[in-house]
Amino acid sequence: MSRILIVEDEVAIADLEKDYLELSGFEIENDGKSGLERALNEDFDLFILDLMLPEVDGFEICKQIREKKNTPILMVSAKKDDIDKIRGLGLGADDYVTKPFSPSELVARVKAHLARYERLIGSNTVENDIVEIRGIKIDKTARRVNGEERQFTTKEFDLLTFLAENPNHVFTKEELFRKIWDMESIGDIATVTVHIKKIREKIEMNTNKPQYIETIWGVGYRFKL
């Protein structure tokens, strides 16, 4: 649920905004006094700032929020002239509404800005590193195979990923052991055989006729392309 902070000293207006936004499913905090402090230190999804406030005015609050956050800011003012001032100062407010405004217009604008901001954040998220080969999808970031939480041990996962990233290439057990386990590791090349068996049990339909990781007799293994 989106959380909105209203910084407004007129109780009647603050209550009106709060009522309408709560009806639309938002979580609302109203603070006409220590709004600036809360805006800077707490997590909100949007700010609604009144311009005329008894202590620090809306211009200053807007400026200080922008120095720290990209959260959408909607400014509310009783004077049309102030709108020009908001624009002129380039404070980084996303929108402005003049009093008196219709509550449904306020709600519509809040929704639009939240949606726009979510899209913006969404497009910045880092994509997972995925290896996809012959119907097998290995998500290296989430460490999942085919989207399932099927339990692959760290080494099984690394071994499968390494083979899938180098398809049609035969690796000897020694090479795989060196690559996945380091030289200092306790164990030997039989470890590789055991791990291949475990991987096959998780990805193959029939482990006797492996379709993905082939055994090249006397040499090693190959991920079939």
In the complex with Ca ion, which residue's Cβ is closer, 47 or 171? 47
Choices 5-13, 165-173, 174-182, 203-211; region in contact with Ca ion by CB under 5 A: 5-13
Alpha carbon distance 63, 60 (integer Å): 5
**Side by side, which strands form the sheet with 171-172?**
171-172, 220-223, 213-216
State yes or no: residue 83 binds Ca ion (CB under 5 A): no
Among 2, 16, 52, 143, binds Ca ion (CB under 5 A): 52
Long-range contacts for 212-217 (Cβ within 8 Å, ≥24 apart)? 212/134, 212/136, 212/164, 213/160, 213/163, 216/170
Alpha carbon distance 176, 169 (integer Å): 12
CB 158 within 8 A of CB 178: no
Choices 47-55, 57-65, 130-138, 185-193; region in contact with Ca ion by CB under 5 A: 47-55
Alpha carbon distance 80, 86 (integer Å): 10
CB of 35 to Ca ion, least distance (A): 11
Q: What is the number of other CB atoms lying within 10 angstroms of the CB of residue 120?
A: 11
Nearest to 76 by CA among 42, 103, 55, 45: 103
CB of 72 to Ca ion, least distance (A): 20
Choices 6-14, 36-44, 56-64, 203-211; region in contact with Ca ion by CB under 5 A: 6-14
Tokens of 139: 């998500």
- Contact characters 139-178, Ca ion, x per CB under 5 A: ----------------------------------------
State yes or no: residue 50 binds Ca ion (CB under 5 A): yes
State yes or no: residue 60 binds Ca ion (CB under 5 A): no
State yes or no: residue 9 binds Ca ion (CB under 5 A): yes
In the complex with Ca ion, which residue's Cβ is closer, 50 or 94? 50
Q: Say how many Å lie between the first and final Cα of the chain, rounded.
A: 46
| Pair type for strands 136-139 and 144-145 | antiparallel
Choices 1-9, 19-27, 186-194, 204-212; region in contact with Ca ion by CB under 5 A: 1-9
In the complex with Ca ion, which residue's Cβ is closer, 2 or 64? 64
In the complex with Ca ion, which residue's Cβ is closer, 64 or 193? 64
CB of 52 to Ca ion, least distance (A): 4
CB 58 within 8 A of CB 52: yes
Which positions lie near Ca ion, rule CB under 5 A? Answer: 9, 50, 52
